[in-house]
Amino acid sequence: MAATATGARAWQNWARTERVTPVRVERPASGDEVVAAIARAGADGLTVKPIGSGHSFTGIAVAPGVQLDLTDLAGLTRVDASTGLVTLAAGTRLHDASALLHEHGLAFENLGDIDVQSISGAVSTGTHGTGRAFGGLATQLRAVTLATADGRLLPISATENAELWPAARLGLGALGVLVDLTVQTVPTFVLAADEHPEPLDAVLDDWPNRSAQADHVEFYWFPHTRLALTRNNTRLPADAPRTPPGRVQRWLDDELLGNGLYEVLCRIGSIAPGTVLGINRLASRVAFTRQVADYSHRIFATERKVRFRELEYSVPLDAVGPVLRELDRVIEANGWRVTFPVEVRATAPDDVWLSTAFGRPSSYIAVHRYIRDDHTPYLAAAEQILRAHDGRPHWGKLHSRTADDLRPVYPHFDDFVAVRDRLDPDRVFTNPYLDRVLGA
């Protein structure tokens, strides 16, 4: 019998864009307990939805019926250091996974900007980092175990129940509850990070080449400035010299400049928009000139304490220049004062049906607004531009797309829906967001 938390418990996501009080919360600690929780939900006529760390900006994790809290379903359950294949329980947080892998001389091949998410939540929404030769987290999966609506624990991989594999690797939480995930990891490596400002136009004009000039390239553009803050991370062997930021530098970077002082500046910008220009110029200059090297998981991910709202789309590589120039024009024409930077990344193409990088090398353009600012007009304008460039929205970040207008941008959209119809004909795992993006 699963440990059932008492009745309703109010939940809200990190970005404070979604809140719900589920009918009940359950904390299963094993695959069998997940199956039992699904059966109980079915018997009570309730939907069921697992949550990760609530870091999706969209309502994808909203669980009005039974919410599954997977805190007790965590840890490394199998490690093969010779092949790098490891199995993680579904609720494992990425930072815990990285620490556990490190003890075995292993690491994730690539990660996004933060690592507080659960492995399942990150994979299920298409979470990605940057790197022209590297895919998102779902591409690192080799197998999963899925608890299904009809009470099975189904192994799925390229060789077992293989027809489900391209859907189950990135399932939006719509197909069932992941119980464990087998990941192809790589030997521990060091990342050397080189961060410095460059003229924006030079970076935009050359982005398709420039994005491949180091292993992991990205840049930030603070609106109202002409600077791109570039970050180029190069992969080195595990025994390469490490020069992590010292305690004082780390405090300056992460606590003062990255979070504490930045929060104060964003608040000032929100109350007095006239100051934003100066704030962005200051942020561009002080926040970004450094060279450090450390184990990969300590370089890929940083802490984000200043809350914001975000929309991110993938577009073809050569769309970055036109999109950012158009966005610049729209921001200035509307007189918006935007403190948060626009972030640009790139990944390899993949063959995961609902991956934003399906079938094409992709750039990612993310626009953010500070939580106290009204994000709606800016994000809507950015979305309009990104849509016109054949964009696909990140499943975990704000967007307004529906099943009807997502179908044409995903060649296997209907194949995914067919898998959903087969695995969840009664829509036990649905919620309003999934009804919108996949159809009811």
Ligand X SMILES: Cc1cc2nc3c(=O)[nH]c(=O)nc-3n(C[C@H](O)[C@H](O)[C@H](O)COP(=O)(O)OP(=O)(O)OC[C@H]3O[C@@H](n4cnc5c(N)ncnc54)[C@H](O)[C@@H]3O)c2cc1C
Give the interface with ligand X as residue ranges (CB under 6 A): 14-15, 49-56, 60-61, 70, 90, 112-114, 117-118, 120-122, 124-125, 127-128, 172-173, 177-178, 304, 394, 396
CB of 205 to ligand X, least distance (A): 25
CB of 353 to ligand X, least distance (A): 16
CB of 346 to ligand X, least distance (A): 13
CB of 1 to ligand X, least distance (A): 20
Q: Are 233 and 216 in contact (CB under 8 A)?
A: yes
Helix H or strand E segment including 276: helix 276-286
What residues does 193 pair with on adjacent strands? 233, 292
CB of 313 to ligand X, least distance (A): 12
For ligand X, give the closer residue by CB, 22 or 396: 396
The counts of H helices and E strands in the chain are 15, 21
For ligand X, give the closer residue by CB, 161 or 275: 161
CB of 272 to ligand X, least distance (A): 25
For ligand X, give the closer residue by CB, 110 or 248: 110
Q: Are 218 and 344 in contact (CB under 8 A)?
A: yes
**Maximum Cα interatomic distance, the chain, rounded to a whole number of Å:** 61
Pairing of strands 308-316, 362-370: antiparallel
Helix H or strand E segment including 298: helix 296-300
For 150-214, the DSSP string reads TS-EEEEESSSSGGGHHHHTT-TT-S-EEEEEEEE-EE-EEEEEEEEEEEHHHHHHTHHHHTTSS
For ligand X, give the closer residue by CB, 95 or 285: 95
Q: Are 8 and 21 in contact (CB under 8 A)?
A: yes
CB of 406 to ligand X, least distance (A): 16
Q: Is the dihedral of CA 51, 54, 57, 59 positive or negative?
A: positive
For ligand X, give the closer residue by CB, 42 or 273: 42
CA angle (233, 240, 195) in 5-degree steps: 25
Q: Are 366 and 393 in contact (CB under 8 A)?
A: no
For ligand X, give the closer residue by CB, 145 or 188: 145
Is 297 exposed, middle or buried, given 0-12, 13-18 or 19+ CB atoms closer than 10 A?
buried
For ligand X, give the closer residue by CB, 84 or 121: 121
* Interatomic CA distance for residues 42 and 374, integer angstroms: 40
**Residue 227, token pair as written in the block:** 């600077």
For ligand X, give the closer residue by CB, 258 or 396: 396
CB of 226 to ligand X, least distance (A): 25
* Interatomic CA distance for residues 127 and 122, integer angstroms: 5
